[in-house]
Copies of this chain bind each other. A is one copy, B any other.
């Protein structure tokens, strides 16, 4: 297949491109480096089946030659208001990527007769009142809250993808991606695993916001990419959750990382500073992915963290 992938220089996008190339596909990667990083694709630029377009997906663009699949993975995705790469500081760009970017990529898939995949998010469930979240849960999102620029942009993108499927018969799929981690995560977008790893690698105490009892579930990026590739091979227009259903508190995560890195500095607790609507708990119900794709995560948290630590050490020059 010849695949267009937007957001190719992002954390997930770069892993997905790598895997597609490994499987023998050709990849046209697209990014404007708003939150993606050039170093994430430096090794891909030399690949004979990889080509790159520096392009904002929210501006109109054309792609020469045939396309068999269009994968729309471009968007700011960190909720951290303290990072310049968090979507609270990129509100208009985030809403453009979810609306204009989705229109443009859907139109491109139509023109090329290509299959389509939208990278959606567990954030469409908002601050959920149902645990774990199945795909049939309609979510609990404040449309005028501070997180709405991302959550509502992705809900819009899902609705638009379904509209193209229903109206034009476009062969679409929607993946709802839960928290994912691994090598190449930005060091500076304020997500919890990069923050903890950097602090632990420096021998500092890990900063836990709140009492650390909020739970998260973390999927290693290779597992996620495997699920995405499987979903690309089936025809299922309705959303599919991909994530790791193993729940862990933020405090347990901190303690695991300190143990893996022999960091004696422990943790410090600070008051919550996340956005209103920050979910207390979020965990995927992956029954559909198990049934439809025969997929489930294989990499345990400690193994995934070890692989991620290697990458962080190198990038931090340690």
Give me the interface of A with B, judged by CB distance under 8 Å: 91-92, 95-96, 98-100, 103, 124, 126, 138-144, 146, 148-149, 151-153, 155-156, 158-160, 162-164, 166-167, 174, 238-239
- A99 closest partner in B (C-beta): B99
The one of B138, B139, B149, B174 in contact with A159, judged by C-beta atoms closer than 8 angstroms, is B149
- A94 closest partner in B (C-beta): B163
| A160→B95 contact, CB < 8 A | yes
| B153→A156 contact, CB < 8 A | yes
Can you give 27 contacting A-B residue pairs, CB < 8 Å?
Answer: A91-B166, A92-B163, A92-B164, A92-B167, A95-B156, A95-B159, A95-B163, A98-B156, A99-B99, A100-B100, A124-B143, A138-B141, A138-B142, A139-B141, A139-B143, A141-B155, A144-B239, A148-B159, A148-B162, A148-B163, A149-B159, A149-B160, A149-B163, A152-B155, A152-B156, A153-B159, A155-B155
The dominant DSSP class at the A interface is helix
- A89 closest partner in B (C-beta): B167
The one of B98, B99, B140, B167 in contact with A138, judged by C-beta atoms closer than 8 angstroms, is B140
Chain B residues with CB under 8 Å of A151's CB are 159
| B144→A174 contact, CB < 8 A | yes
Closest 3 A-B residue pairs measured CB to CB? Answer: A148-B159, A152-B159, A99-B99
Chain B residues with CB under 8 Å of A158's CB are 143-144, 148, 152
Chain B residues with CB under 8 Å of A162's CB are 144, 148
| A238→B138 contact, CB < 8 A | no
Min Cβ gap A34→B in Å is: 15
Chain B residues with CB under 8 Å of A142's CB are 138
Min Cβ gap A126→B in Å is: 7
Min Cβ gap A148→B in Å is: 4
Chain B residues with CB under 8 Å of A166's CB are 91, 146
Bound Cα distance A142, B160 (Å): 13
| A167→B91 contact, CB < 8 A | yes
Bound Cα distance A151, B159 (Å): 9
Min Cβ gap A114→B in Å is: 18
- A124 closest partner in B (C-beta): B143
Min Cβ gap A94→B in Å is: 8
| A126→B155 contact, CB < 8 A | no
Chain B residues with CB under 8 Å of A152's CB are 152, 155-156, 158-159
- A127 closest partner in B (C-beta): B138
Bound Cα distance A121, B31 (Å): 35
Chain B residues with CB under 8 Å of A98's CB are 156
Of A92, A151, A159, most buried by chain B (CB within 10 Å of CB) is A159
| A238→B139 contact, CB < 8 A | no
Chain B residues with CB under 8 Å of A155's CB are 141, 143, 148, 152, 155-156
Given known A-B contacts A143-B124, A143-B139, A174-B144, A91 and B163 have beta carbons under 8 A apart: yes
Chain B residues with CB under 8 Å of A163's CB are 91-92, 95, 148-149
